[in-house]
Amino acid sequence: MQAPKLIIIGRDGILNRFREDHVKEPSEWEPLPGALEAVAKLNHAGWHVVIATNQGGIGRGLVDMSSLNAVHVHMMKLLAAKGGRIDAVFFCPHPAHEHCECRKPAPGLMHEIASRYGVDLKNVPMVGDTPRDLEAALAAGCPPHLVRTGRASRVQPEEVAQWLAAAPGALVHDDLMAFAHHLLERDANPRTGH
């Protein structure tokens, strides 16, 4: 069986608005402009989209599993209304101080995704909005992509330049839709890069 065309994206700051106080219930999950449409566009072009997200609020007792599941049911409904879908959500529930293997920037979630889907991560673009995401992509062997939404929208261009200097080969896009256009254009013209 051929491995699927797969994309890994972060959740908060990429698909929905990032909240310092965590997304604790469905009403707090607010999609970023064009993000749901971007997933649908990728799906319609044959790409499967999975989420890899740090959800340390679970380990810290700020969010429980039923709330997280309710948020993701809400997310899936909003996506379906736009003709899109997320194939799976992989998440790390541990707070940073536990130093687990699944919390980005560690590559554990990506390795789990590769194992589940039978993909070579060098063919799996990974989209994030922080240096931690870029570092995780590189550690896993995924082509790294940064979107200037979420946390990346709150820093100066010089700081983003520093992030990119530490992540050779990373490409920058205004948002998830700009990433989708880039990827679909690349598919149409395969010599243009990753």
Give domain status of residue 70, yes or no. yes
Each residue's pLDDT tens digit, 43-90 = 999 999 999 999 999 999 999 999 999 999 999 999 999 999 999 999
194, part of any domain: no
Find out whether 121 and 141 touch, Cβ atoms under 8 Å.
yes
Kindly state whether residue 86 falls inside one of the protein's structural domains.
yes
Does the residue 1 lie in any domain? no
Mean per-residue pLDDT, 96-106: 94
Domain assignment of residue 78, yes or no: yes
Query: Using an 8 Å Cβ cutoff, are 177 and 169 in contact?
Result: no
- pLDDT of 194: 55
Which structural domain, as residue segments, surrounds residue 63? Answer: 6-189
CATH code for the domain in which residue 173 is found: 3.40.50.1000
Proportion of the chain above pLDDT 90, given as a percent: 88
Helix axes 176-188, 35-44, angle to 10 degrees: 20
Indicate the pTM of the whole model. Answer: 0.94
Average pLDDT of the segment spanning 107-124: 97
Render pLDDT for 132-165 as a digit per residue (tens, 0 to 9). 999 999 999 999 999 999 999 999 989 999 999 9
The verdict on residue 57 lying in a domain is yes
Assigned domain for 116 exists: yes
Long-range contacts of 137-140 (CB under 8 A, 24+ apart): 137/8, 137/110, 137/167, 137/170, 138/167, 138/168, 139/105, 139/106, 139/107, 139/110, 140/107, 140/110, 140/111, 140/114
> 133 in a domain, yes or no?
yes
Those residues whose C-beta lies under 8 Å from the C-beta of residue 107, and which sit 6 or more positions away, are 101, 136, 139, 140, 141
Domain total of the chain = 1
61 backbone φψ class: left, alpha, beta (φ>0; ψ -120 to 50): left
